[in-house]
Structures are given as C-alpha cells and as structure tokens.
Amino acid sequence: MCGIAGFIGKSPPTRSDAEDTLAMMRQRGPDGLGLFQDDVGANRVMLLHSRLAIIDLQTRSNQPFIDDGCVLIFNGEIYNYVEVRDELKALGQTFRTDSDTEVILRAYRQWGEGLVDRLQGMWAFALLDSRAGKLTLSRDPFGEKPLYCMETPDGLFFGSEIKFIKQLSARTPAIRHEKVHRFLAHGYRDVFKKKDSFFEGINPLPAASIVTLTGGDMPEPRIYWTPHFNPQPMSEGEAIEGVRDRLFDAVKIRLRADVPIALTLSGGIDSNVVAGIAVHHFQQNLHTFSMLESREDYDERQFIAAAVRGLGAPHRERPVQSRGFLERLGRMAHHYEAPVLSVGMFLEGFLTETVSAEGFKLAINGNGSDEIFAGYYDHYLYWLAGLHGTAEFEPEVARWRESMGKYVRNPLFKDPMRFVDTPDERRHLHHNAPDIDSVMHLPSADPFEEEDFCDDLLRKRMLNELTRESVPATLFCGDLNWMYHSIENRTAYLDRSLISFLLTVPSNLLIREGYSKYLLRKAAEGYVPDEILFSRQKFGFNAPITSLLNREDPDVIDFMMMDSPVFDLVRRDKVEAMMRPDADLAGLDNFLFCVASAKMFYATQAGW
C-alpha cells in the first residue's frame, strides 16, 4: 500500500514541484520515497512513489522498482502473489525479492496486458516499458485503489490523490459545482455514476481497466472484467459449499502480511465472519476495534461483546461523540478534497484514529458483503417480488413479517408488495430526503439512473450497488480514511473468484428461512456465535446525525449558517429550521450531514 503519482508528455514538472509532491505523498507511505525520470522517445516520463511496507519490508522492494527495462510504481496488494510467483518460476522467471511488486513486473514481462486477468488483489499501477516506449496504467476490478488522471497541453498527470496532481502540475482546477449539487440532492449513491471527480478536468481511471500510453494523450481504457449474472442449476448445498470454499480462500490470501493485523468489528455478521474464519480456521492473531453508539436503535454493544468473547482477541472500543465533530470533519474534507459522503464513512474515519494510535499499519474490514450476498432491507422485498405469482409468495411474506420485516424503519419498506406493485420504485435510493426539491433552489439534478445489467430485479440492483453506487463510495472514503493514518485497508469480500461464483447462484438461494445473506450465514456456521450469525437485526458503523452535530452548540450553529456556495444550491431557511434543537429530523438525518459535509468541503478549498 502506497502513494503513486506521475507524468508523461512534452513539458515535465519542475524538480521542485516533484519534490514537493513527494513530501505530500509521505502520508500514504512513510517507509520510503522514490523518484524516476527519463526521456522515452519524444516524451518525458516522471514516476513518484511513497511506500507503506507490508510485504517484504526490506529496501530491496522499494519503488520505483526498476528491472529488465521496466519501471514500476504500484499502490495496493496482490494477494495471490505467492501462487503467481510460483507459476512464473515454473516458466523460467527468476526473482530477487519476496515482494508482490516484483511479481507484477515479471507477470507483465510474461503475459503483457494479460497480467491483470491473473491477479487477485487491489491495485493502481503505472508500468513504464522503456524498450517499447510505452506507459501502462491499470486499476483493480472493483476500484479499491484510486488513480486520477488530468490531461493538459503539457501532458498527462496522474496520482493516487487529487492533491498530488494539483501539486505536480502546479494547477488548481475549479470545483465541479454540479457534482456537489448531485451529492446534496441524491446522496452518496449518485457520486460515482459519472466518471468524474469534484474538480474540473480531473477524472478517475475506471475500475477494472487498463490503458497504454505512448504520449500525453489518454486513449480509451480497456475494461478487462465486467460482472455478469449467469445463474446455473445448483442445489442449496452446492451453493453453500461453493461460497465456503471461495470465502475461505479470499480470507486466507488477505491475511498475508509481514506486519500485525487489525480488524474493524461491528455487531453484524460481515466483519464477524471474516474475524471468525481468520481466528478459528487460520489461527490468525488479530486485534479488533469497534465504534459504539449508545442510542437504543443503533446500540450493538451486546453483539460486539459476544463477538469479542468468541474471538478471544485483544479488543478496543471508541464511543461516538459530538465533541470535535467540526474539526474532524474539516480534516477529513481537506484530506478527501471532496465532501465526506455519509455518517457511516465519517465514523470509519473516526475509528481509524484509534487503530493508528495502537500502531497498526494493516486493517481488514467486512465491507461489500451486503451487495454480493443480498443484505439490505430492500433486497428482501426485491426478492419477494421475484416470487410473486408462485405458491411460495404468501408463505415467504409471512416469514418476512416475522423476521426482517420487524426491524424495518423506512416506511417504504414496510409493504411487502412494494416492488410487486411498483418495480421501478427508487425513491429510497436517490433522494437524500423524502421531499428533497422543497429544500433545494434547483430541481434535484438528474433523474435516478441504473445500469440494466439483467432482467432479475434483485440482481440488477445488487450489481448497480457493487459497481456504480454504494461500494465505489465506500471504497473512496475507505482509502482516504485509512491512508490518512498510513494504514492499509483490505476488503475481504471484494474477491473476484467469490463474486464470479455468486453470480452463478440462482437468486432464490440468496434469502431462505427468513434470513437475508443466507449463504454467508450457512457458510460461516461454527466460526461465529449463533446469536450474531442468526440475528435478524442489521448492524454496521452508524449513528444519528444528532450524536455528532450538536444543534445547541453556538460554534456548530454559526458554521452551519455561515455564507457558503452551498446556499446557492440549498435553501438557507430550510437548513436554519433543521438546526433548531427541537426540529424533527425524521428522514432528514443524512441530508443535514451532507449539507455540513459539503459546506466543509467548500470551506477547505482556497478562495471560499
């Protein structure tokens, strides 16, 4: 895990700008800094790297990694590097390090661009092939590791963070106000549907893409992997066994490290399954960390206590608190160079402080499980809609009423016929509040859009969440939250083999016996306490906005009401009404957080 930045083109950055960029990159990688530059044909190439050492801690694995006419800078981890290295050795390749970095370079020499089809991991890399006079950029299948690009008359700049591109290019692009508008109107799910950033002219390289450059112009990247729903006949037992085998492999390879491992633990099943398999099946030593919210409908202390007893691992907890909210939000928005996208993502950033204070450089999380195993409240109703017209429908509705239906708070989800009667209903996804237009100066931006991946209503939703909505938002914030503290963060469920298998499982097997995420629960039996594994409640890092934003604090009120470009988009009088201590925020919690976050984003940018 590291930071990367670079340039290819006719007019390179100054040495001073490069060195200032490297100094800025140290936060992502404090264990080593490196700079390479050379003429390649008619172009100048510059590659910058800051290292966070996780595998093969020796300096021999520092980057830029130069060998055999190639120069590589790489951010991420190749989890199956051991298996790929063994395959390359059998083909005659030799190695001088024990790093996954060298595996990428050797794999490129062996298979060219085809190397991306053999890697399991998260990555953003730039690989210069001096002999061929070309530079190759790539990102992992889910976009876990960021890579932004900016085309200019001088050439192409790229980097792990927008601030690196700004510094290296000596440019300050304008804010994309339209993107802030979309965020305020629709929330985090809309942020990554368009391949842009919060700054004009700076755009992310798409996930699951690879592109080869011979100069400063960016060709269209090639998408090397796209998930497809292709259900195959299988029994429940075959589905459980297939999930278990691939899940255990996914956890096993993500435990490869030469440093101690932390795990963020909620009271839900996702993180507990990863922890249970790691501790009880692979005998991995873990330290666990949790965020605690005391309000009853968010309180998961009982389940976290059960998890800790079951794991027998060292554990740390941190309570949610309002003290320091604005200062922390300001640090995060400045580091993000974007609004913090949700309360849950803010709380994750809060928790990283505790993990960092304990000296860890590596953490594992349970993100992505809901989107691949069907874990959200609306997933159950999409699944029921798929049964409508069959003899199973009424009995399954009765099961729902006695299971997940008991815990639903959103009124849209209290009707089991919701997606039978209105299969295109998406208000619960794209609106930040029940009547968002009443608080906005302008209409609520574009209508809600989703990719038409398949005809199955549930799987279409899940694939949109995986590739365009919730998972990209979680990964964006997760990378920045953890790398602010120089900590690598691994996501166990975003495994290409696991997800490819799940896309062959018929949808009727995803929810059974009144349980969402049925296959995950069954695959992990014996590794997680039953009171967690078969709880009907859904838990994760979350809290109401009033646990963070104190509406009786004069400093908070002054900040929320001070002049800002946000009030060109949002009605000031509506925000003022929400800030009254006795105002009912039902349905408005997330919107009020988004207003605070967008205001802080503007406040941290020069000139506002």
Confidence class for position 608, pLDDT limits 50, 70, 90: very low
Give the predicted TM-score (pTM) of the model. Answer: 0.95
Taken in order of first residue, the domains within the chain and their CATH numbers are 2-164+173-223 (3.60.20.10), 236-372+462-533 (3.40.50.620), 378-458 (no CATH), 555-603 (no CATH)
Distance CA 117, CA 394 (A): 44
pLDDT > 70: what percent of the chain? Answer: 96
Positive or negative, the CA dihedral 51, 55, 56, 60 is: negative
The one catalytic residue in 2, 149, 477, 594 is 2
- On the 0-12 / 13-18 / 19+ scale of CB atoms within 10 A, 90 is exposed
E-strand ranges in 142-228 read: 148-151, 155-159, 203-204, 209-213, 222-223
Please name the residues in contact with 521: beta carbons below 8 A apart, sequence gap of 6 or more: 269, 515, 533, 534
Residue-wise pLDDT tens digits, 129-167 = 999 999 999 999 999 999 999 999 999 999 999 999 999
For tokens 């299988």, name the residue.
234
The span from the CA of 24 to the CA of 13, in Å, is 15
* pLDDT beyond 70 at 296: no
- 486-541 pLDDT per residue, tens: 999 999 999 999 999 999 999 999 999 999 999 999 999 999 999 999 987 766 56
Q: Could you confirm whether 477 is annotated as catalytic?
A: no
CA 17 – CA 19 distance, rounded (Å): 6
Q: Which of 344, 337, 347, 295 shows the shortest CA–CA distance to 317?
A: 347
The C-alpha R_g of the chain, in whole angstroms, comes to 24
**Spatial distance between the Cα atoms of 490 and 144, rounded to a whole number of angstroms:** 9
pLDDT tens digits, one per residue of 309-329: 999 999 999 888 888 899 999
Question: Which pLDDT band, with edges at 50, 70 and 90, does 427 fall under?
Answer: confident
Annotated binding residue at 563?
Answer: no
